[in-house]
Amino acid sequence: MHQGVRPDDDMPLAHCIANTFMDHAVALFCNDANGLVLDLKMPNNSVAMTYAYWPPARNPGKDYYDCGETGQVYLQIGFGLGAPSDTSYTLSTSACVRGLQTVYNVDCDGQHKDNKHGGQLDLGAYKPQIEDKDWNDHLFYLADPNPPLEGRNPYCSNGMWRFTPNAENTNFLPKQTDNCYDVHLGFGGDDKWSVKPKGWKPSNNKFDADDMKAHNDAKEACVKLGGKYDKKGGTALSHPRLLLVPYSTHHVSTYHQWLQSPSLQQLTASEPLSLDEEYAMQRSWRQDGDKLTFIICLPLIDTARDLSSIRSGDFDSGEQMIGDVNLFLSKLDDDDDEDDVDDEASEGDGDGLVGELEIMIPSPSHQRKGYARTALQVFMAYILTHWSEIAAEFAGSKGGVKGDEVRKLGYLRVKIGEGNVASVKLFEGLGFERHGEVNYFGEVEMRWRPDLQHLQAGRGYEAAREIGYDDSSERLMSS
């Protein structure tokens, strides 16, 4: 949940604009700008990008197919206002992100109120050879949505004006377009706010059943039109016995330490990775449409049980992490093992998907305490209740055509080493059944036909509560 400064009439420069549209624009911009040299001796001391987010189609007469308030974000970084003319600076992704985050979250520049300059920040990354109090090493210009969004106040945009692009000595990166990102519907969509920006739709400031229907219709329409629905970022699952959160960058170091264990490498059939490779793998988990993962953590403390959202790092630090649970998706007709078409678990689902589950509880102190069973119950229920979005994102990642029918989930499966008796019993207790013989790798395959009612009737089942998960830094740092 965004913890922005409350927008007030008497606080004309307060921000409340760092939503997921902006975050994604910054991520794209800063990744593309990485390594660029800003040189005052050459006509390239500024870099800019336009990020457009309007949907690919719109159903006449139905505003909710607009998938949000349409428009574009204009971002620009300029170097060396007032600096010596022979200086240069190599821009890095992290410096770019850090600067724009600060502009979002700290202050607007009250000294540059013309219609060119927006938020200004001196990172102090370049130290001049001479003492010059008026010299700034580089500037960050941050544009509010331009043209203005309906209902959005122009915080940090010079009162009644919007930012005007400053094209002087500017390199323009290729324009980026991301349709329906996170399915904003003008009244928040899936980007949950602690404070509604003033004028945010609906104008009556109420959110009733009709609004909820419009929200859900918009989400479905955006996905079918080729938009993105963030099934991972923004949502955590709170259960009395544990907490599931999206796999984020601050989890990587602990996860990497877990997988240094040779026994875990053997159990997970994985090769040891370097820390850099582990970060790349984490980005893949967050971005790829055929993967879904949550980090398993200790449950929320009593005083936090009723929170509607949490911030990354507050309740999911390394000390609170106890494992992970994953889903890999593939097409049923691509499954190499699927040669028995008369099998009850696959009959009639030739156009469906297969979901392969994995779970890991690495620490012996957390094993055999029921965490794995509870995590699987919560995770499987989440998969079934959010299947349309998950399947649509899979289709989009595999070159699906807009409007394609969402594939059904044929079955969930798990592959377990023949000697891992505890894991076999765990999945048998959840209703999985053995399928076929032990394979070449010494693994037993077990399958489960999707049945939410059966899952909910299982021993010890208790529904988890979906809450907001603010991982804005993750969104900024990932492409």
Which CATH number do you get for residue 336?
Answer: 3.40.630.30
| Tens digits of residue pLDDT in 136-152 | 333 344 443 333 333 33
Question: Percentage of the chain surpassing pLDDT 90?
Answer: 25
Q: Tell me the mean pLDDT in the region 301-323.
A: 87
Structural domain span for residue 454: 234-477
**Cα radius of gyration (the chain):** 25
Question: Which pLDDT band holds residue 377 (cuts at 50, 70, 90)?
Answer: very high
**Confidence label for 19 from pLDDT (cuts 50, 70 and 90):** very low
Residues 273 and 348 in one domain: yes
Check pLDDT > 50 for residue 32. Answer: yes
Domain match, 411 and 312 both: yes
Domain boundary (224, 259, 274) is at 224
Residue 121 clears pLDDT 90, i.e. is over it: no
Q: Is omega for the bond preceding 450 within 30 degrees of 0, making it cis?
A: no
What is the predicted pLDDT for the residue at 177? 56
- Model confidence over 77-115: pLDDT tens digits? 665 544 556 667 777 777 666 656 555 444 444 343 332
- Quick: pLDDT tens for 397-437: 665 544 456 789 999 999 998 888 999 999 999 999 999 88
pLDDT, position 93: 74
* pLDDT for the residue numbered 90: 74
Q: Which residues contact 384 (CB under 8 A, 6 or more apart)?
A: 409, 450, 452, 455
Residue carrying structure tokens 């009250």: 110
CB 118 within 8 A of CB 74: no
Q: Where are the alpha helices (DSSP H) in 106-150?
A: none
Q: Label residue 154 by pLDDT band (50, 70, 90).
A: very low
pTM greater than 0.75 (yes/no) = no
Q: What is the pLDDT of residue 385?
A: 92
pLDDT computed for residue 67 by the predictor: 31
Greater model confidence, 475 or 279: 279
Name the most confidently modeled range: 4-8, 77-81, 386-390.
386-390
**407 and 428 fall within a common domain:** yes
Tell me what pLDDT residue 47 has.
77
User: By the 8 A CB rule, do 371 and 360 touch?
Assistant: no
In a domain, 289, yes or no: yes
Same domain, 321 and 175: no
Q: Are residues 113 and 155 in the same domain?
A: yes
From 167, 197, 224, give the residue that closes a domain.
224
* Residue among 179, 148, 182 nearest 163 (CA): 148
Name the nearest CA neighbour of 258 among 275, 246, 280, 283. 275
pLDDT of residue 179: 43
